[in-house]
Structure 1
Amino acid sequence: MPRKRNTQRRMEIVNTAFRLFAEQGYNNVQMKDIADACDISKSLLQHYFPKKIVLLSTMLNELMLSAFIYGNEQLTALSPEQRTMIQMSFMLRMLDENPRIEHFIRDVFESPELTTEIVLVSLDWLEAIGVQGEAANIRYAMNFAVSGGMAVFFKRKILRASVELIAENIDQAFYLLLGEDRRKIDQIYLSTAKYNTDHYYQQFIAYLHEHATIDLRAEIKI
């Protein structure tokens, strides 16, 4: 029972911190602010999460894994390449349509340490679904494609770049660096077109609302 209470308390802290980070930005929220919002002492907060970056890393893992579980349960009949392309498209659209989540993710990508955390979580998923390649090569390709792609995404309005185009280029860069033929990549992307619709996207968001360990109702509209 104590372990269950500890797990519940940890997730209450994560949810509260997520709301504060989304509303105010990671750099503007201090550990004392989180403790006050949770109605606990700062020392108790640090018992669960010694540093703010540890709390954010935990939060990031929960968010990413929730999105990946969707693919593991709903897209199992598709190839690894199709699954990565569909999920990249869905995740960028989610950020585009929900400013609080974009605000939160922008803060993450401003930190090299947290960008690495995103890459590591993504690597575990790519390995689990069977993406082929040496681990070092996959990591390099992921770092290059995602870091560059997200830099463009955050400036998409200035550059007049569509979310769909950015997602496609992130996927193409990733698989080209792994040695895939461009024509094959284009064919795979075309095969995912039927999933890039409002119907499938809403299924994805509904799934996150139902299964995510972090309460996303206030940040992600459905």
Structure 2
Amino acid sequence: MEIVNTAFRLFAENGYDQVQMKDIAEACDISKSLLQHYFPKKIVLLSTMLNELMLSAFIYSNEQLTLLSAEQRTMIQMSFLLRTLDENPKMENFIKDIFENPELTTELVLVSLDWLESIGVAGETSVIRYAINFAVSGGMAVFFKRKLLRVSVEHIAENIDQAFYLLLGADRQKIDQVYLSTAKYNTDRYFQQFITYLHAHATIDLSAEIKI
């Protein structure tokens, strides 16, 4: 975890492509060969990191939103995640690096797929995976240009959710109703609960990247 934490800090500060394995080894005060014993390639380290981050981000939903439907939970989760990125530039830059690399995007999609299936999102795995890829990749492209396009984070989150469930065959009217039913969670109170949970349960040190 010391290696993962160090790599995460370097990626967040300098960008994934700019950090080499030797940089991580030097920052950890270990040899490159020892680093590669645990993580043979940088993508393996990033995959571990994404798993840790995404699982930590889902804990609030898994513990506090269990009485809600899978649709409600995914909509609340998306709103929380985008607001977190919007308010924390280092995390936004870290995630932007991921979406600019198809191989890294695939890693993020796979982690998200596991969570969606675990909370009961219905559909064939291949269809859910396609829906995540299409809705999230397109939505994040808009998110990273939100200031230029003058689009609110809330609107982007709503459109990502709508696109995802439409691709799974859901009725638009039902999607709108579900979204309205989650409105009370789009407040500072619930968002702060989410951030507190994230800091408390994350195995990666987020103190420098996400303000509490």
What TM-score, normalized by structure 1, do the two folds share?
0.94
Name the counterpart of 2:121: 131
After TM superposition, what 4+ stretches of structure 1 lie above 4 angstroms from structure 2? none
One-letter code of the match for 1:44? L
Aligned pair 1:159/2:110, yes or no?
Answer: no
Other-structure match for 1:49: 39
Q: Secondary structure at the match of 2:17?
A: helix
Aligned residues: CA RMSD: 0.6
Q: How far, CA to CA, are the matches of 1:159 and 1:168 in structure 2?
A: 16
Aligned residue in 2 for 1:29: 19
Q: Does 1:98 align with 2:103?
A: no
Match of 2:202 in 1: 212
Distance 1:163 1:80 in 2: 21
2:109 to 119, 124, 129: 119
Instruction: Choose the corresponding residue for 2:181, options 186, 191, 196.
Output: 191
Q: Corresponding residue for 1:68?
A: 58
Counterpart check, 1:203 vs 2:196: no
Show the counterpart of 2:97.
107
How many percent of aligned residue pairs carry the same amino acid? 84
CA-CA distance at 1:74 after TM superposition: 1.0
Partner amino acid, structure 1, of 2:65: L
Query: 1:77 maps to what in 2?
Result: 67
Offset of residue 95 of structure 1: 0.3
Shift of 1:146: 0.5
Which of the numbers 111, 132, 136 marks the counterpart of 1:146? 136
Shift of residue 149, structure 1, vs aligned partner: 0.5
SS in 2 for 1:133: coil
> Residue 128 of structure 2 aligns to which amino acid in structure 1?
I
Matching residue's letter, 1:185: I
Matched, 1:20 2:25: no
Cα shift readout 1:72-118 (whole Å, capped 9, x = no counterpart): 11110100000000000000000000000001000011111111111
Letter of the 1:35 counterpart: A
* Per-residue deviation, residues 29-62 of structure 1 (Å, max 9, x unmatched): 1111111110111111111111111111110110
Contact 2:8/2:49 (<8 A) preserved? yes
Once residues 25 and 134 of structure 1 are traced to their aligned partners in structure 2, the CA distance between those partners, rounded to angstroms, is 35
Tell whether 2:165 aligns with 1:175.
yes
Amino acid at match of 1:148: G
Length-normalised TM-score, structure 2: 0.99
